[in-house]
Amino acid sequence: MTSYQAKDIQVLEGLDPVRRRPGMYIGSTSATGLHHLLWEIMDNSVDEALNGHCDTIEITLHDSQEVTVKDNGRGIPVDEFQKTGKSAMEILFTTLHSGGKFGQGNYKVSGGLHGVGMAVVCALSETLTATSRRDGHEWTQTYGRGKATGKLKKGRPVRAYGTEITFKPDATIFPKIQFQPKAILERAESKAFLNKGLKIIFNDGPNKHVFQYPNGIQDYIRKITADLPKLTEEALVIEKDDQRLRVETAFLWTSSTESNLISYANAIRTVDGGTHETGFRNGITKALRGYIERRGLLPKGVSGITGEDAKEGLVAIISVYLQGEVEFQGQTKGRLNSEITSQVEAVVKHSLEHHLNTHPTLGDLIANRAILAAEARIASRQAKEAVHRKTAISHRLNLPGKLADCATVDKDEAELFICEGDSAGGSSKQARDRKTQAILPIRGKILNVETAPLAKTLANTEIQNIISAIGTGIHPKFDYSKLRYGKIIIMTDADVDGAHICTLLLTFFYKYMFELMQKGHIYIAQPPLFRIDSGKKQFYALDDDEKDRILSGLNGAQHEIGRFKGLGEMPAADLRQTTMSKTTRSLIQVKVEDLESTRLTVGRLMGKDPAPRFKFIKEKAEFVQNLDV
């Protein structure tokens, strides 16, 4: 039995807790945590803007590993702090829970409330240089890994006010240090959208980007809905300001079935939502219910609309500003916990209901959109009940008849190949490893589920087979624990039709089994298009470019080129070696890195409105080199 005594207990001092457990303060040491350091410094400058002391913020990426944030706010205080012999600046950068945002005087509205942001950045930086312009001079001090590495220096006289911070994250903390310009651009633009008139400049080498939006979130929603089919071109805007809470929201409905609510609290993106989102959804739902009942619009068979019906197709920006104590969940502030649900609900319900009643043509349009969603919900429930009745026997007995299942019951070992047609299915069954690889042939092109209603989707035989084989069910009753295969591999012919089938399947997984994409279970096989025989050597090429590279490497040696017409025409030995063998194949893993960009892309390329596709084709047509018609 090991001893455990007082001498075994450690007390971490200063900023050591941050360096020992950085995940507690910035979420992780991945790219997300790395960028969180920059967000902390940016948010301090934005807080100055929120309180009327700053109108310009400039971010400069010197290389991928060092960044500067400069503003024209009040500057960091540099006078002596409570007889410690240290300046207020040094205290702010080297002491947790220090700052000017705990009281009520200096910051009426703020996103940084824990007093740890600057200190955390300092603790996790190899070098940090802070410059404050105030009190008639420029003041500079250097830091490293949470400690001051030099004394506060009084520099040249200046009339301007502001703060400038340059830092380089610590390579002993972060496995990879590479700031991503795209992420910084998006963050800078969103902050400019949220703060009317604030100018944010981002310098990335020779590239200079300037963001400034006089209409704030109205400009924001115009941008994110530019390519979406909308019920109305102009968004509804609600603004309400009282002593403690300011609510700003802009929203509209599209003909898509997906919704997109983007929320902020004190200019901080709340990716996990919170009480302000709940209040907004409640207000929207109650306003629509009241309008529908008053106008007598409900058809027979529909008892009322739900929150999901009201939210379908809704795109909204929700921004709230709170004075005083603000409760976020965790240091990364992903969720707002401050109890403002009822206040936001009342503002949204009253304003929207008044607007609908005074604009009945628009009101009927939006109300009928929600009623249509309710009717689709009822129809899909009935269709699902019918499917459940048909599959009431055990799942194993109701697996698709065309499925050639594998022997293993270990999900992590099992692989499901979804292939195109019975012919390809036959070749795949001969080429597979029966222990771990299952084959499901599908007939032709499945439905485009982005445009098809759920009831029609569930009635499609090929989609029913895919759902039954995978075992998880679909959204909203998706059950990850029932997944039967660790890898789901789309294996289609290496031609335009094959690419189209692959796209339709990806759309289905994105819409109804999104968690499989998120967790990395979806793959795309890469069957070759050509086989090249030269003497006793065999080569395989995915496309013309790879074929040309192989031929150039043969240096004129005699050879024969064969083009595979499809997986069904490919000998089982070739299919096994090139596409199915775990040791020689090449797979593309499908994951969603940027949810907003993916949503827009799927809507643009697969949605009901052809206009965005036509625009996309016109823009990209000049870059097409090989057209398969």
Query: Would strands 415-420 and 437-442 be described as parallel, antiparallel, or unpaired?
Result: parallel
- Is 497 catalytic? The answer is yes
C-alpha distances in Å from residue 69, one per residue of 22, 72, 291: 22, 11, 48
Catalytic residue among 48, 126, 450, 493: 493
Would the CA dihedral through 500, 502, 505, 511 be positive or negative? negative
- Is 241 catalytic? The answer is no
d(CA 221, CA 510): 24
Catalytic residue among 66, 186, 413, 495: 495
Q: How many CB atoms lie within 10 A of CB 380?
A: 17
Long-range contacts of 56-60 (CB under 8 A, 24+ apart): 56/198, 56/199, 56/200, 56/201, 57/188, 57/191, 57/198, 57/199, 57/200, 57/201, 58/200, 58/201, 58/202, 58/203, 59/184, 59/188, 59/200, 59/201, 59/202, 59/203, 60/202, 60/203
d(CA 422, CA 92): 68
- Is 569 catalytic? The answer is no
Burial category of 554 from C-beta neighbours within 10 Å (exposed 0-12, middle 13-18, buried 19 and up):
middle
- Is 420 catalytic? The answer is yes
Q: Residue 299 belongs to what H/E stretch?
A: none
Catalytic residue among 420, 450, 462, 574: 420
Catalytic residue among 327, 497, 569, 609: 497
Query: Alpha helix (H) ranges present in 480-571?
Result: 496-512, 514-518, 544-553
Q: How many CB atoms lie within 10 A of CB 241?
A: 11
Catalytic (active-site) positions: 420, 493, 495, 497
